[in-house]
Amino acid sequence: MPGPNHEIEVENVAEAEAAFNELRAQAEGLAAGDVLPFRANASLAYHNVSRGTEAVLARQADLAGKLTTGELEALAAAPKLALAVVFAAGRVSRLSTHPVEGLNDRLARARLLRRVMLRSAEACAEAEVIPAAEVEVIRRGRGLLDTAQDCLALAGLFRRHEGALASKTPVTSQMVVEAAEVGTALVTLIKPANLPPDAAPAAEVAAAAALRDRMWTLLVRRHDDLFKAGAWLWGHAVGDHVPALQSRTRPKK
């Protein structure tokens, strides 16, 4: 089980696909009448679930007697389930006959965020505020997929060293949230050649959408459990620590 400071990042498309394949059978086992339609931003849900899970696990000792070991492990795996939803949603987009909506705008924003955050990180590394080796790893590589992965890595870097970087960088907390969100979206949407796929049969697209809805239903249920655990810990202030799936407010420390 991850420790209190565990950071969950998307390293590559393979990680997202592995989460999807691992949880596919569980999603397919849902009763048809229980499935909820997916009408959400999957990347934002992934980010919020990751933040909420981190907050709850940091206080897991206080949940002793309220949750079993199995229930705690299920909460710890919530980000993996959210990542599976991201992949499932991206899969529907890739199979669609239409190009991914807003892909170019997302890429432009990702490039800007990467440039600003990386330059700031390099300056802070040179001033020995943060480890230079962590920044050097992010600096390597080129290409569209690397840009998406760098946004995720930079979001993780700025979260890990939030205290040390306070008042020393123009990078805002909202930029960190946005970098994680846009990076997560792009990493599952970008093909190696950055080209839209051949049109898939309508039945295949419909099946992919149905599976996406099932994955989303599992995530909504898991988030409900996460929120309940947060309510035991923080009462009415739970939303400050375990954000709603589509919240754009950064949780408080």
Ramachandran category for residue 65: left, alpha or beta (phi over 0 → left; psi -120 to 50 → alpha): left
Each as own residue / partner, the long-range contacts of residues 33-39 (CB below 8 Å, 24 or more positions apart, any chain) are 34/217, 35/210, 35/213, 35/214, 35/217, 36/213, 36/216, 36/217, 36/220, 37/213, 37/216, 38/85, 38/89, 38/209, 38/212, 38/213, 38/216
Compute the distance between CA of residue 84 and CA of residue 90 in angstroms, rounded to an integer.
Answer: 10
Compute the distance between CA of residue 244 and CA of residue 228 in angstroms, rounded to an integer.
Answer: 12
Is-contact 108 249, C-beta < 8 A?
no
Q: Residue-wise pLDDT tens for the chain (253 aa)? A: 333 333 334 445 667 888 999 999 999 999 999 999 999 888 889 889 999 999 999 999 999 889 999 999 999 999 999 989 988 988 887 776 555 556 778 889 999 999 999 999 999 999 999 999 999 988 876 777 788 888 988 988 998 898 899 889 999 988 998 998 888 778 766 654 444 445 556 788 889 999 999 999 999 999 999 999 999 999 999 999 999 999 876 655 5
Residue 64, SS3 per DSSP? strand
Is-contact 35 230, C-beta < 8 A?
no
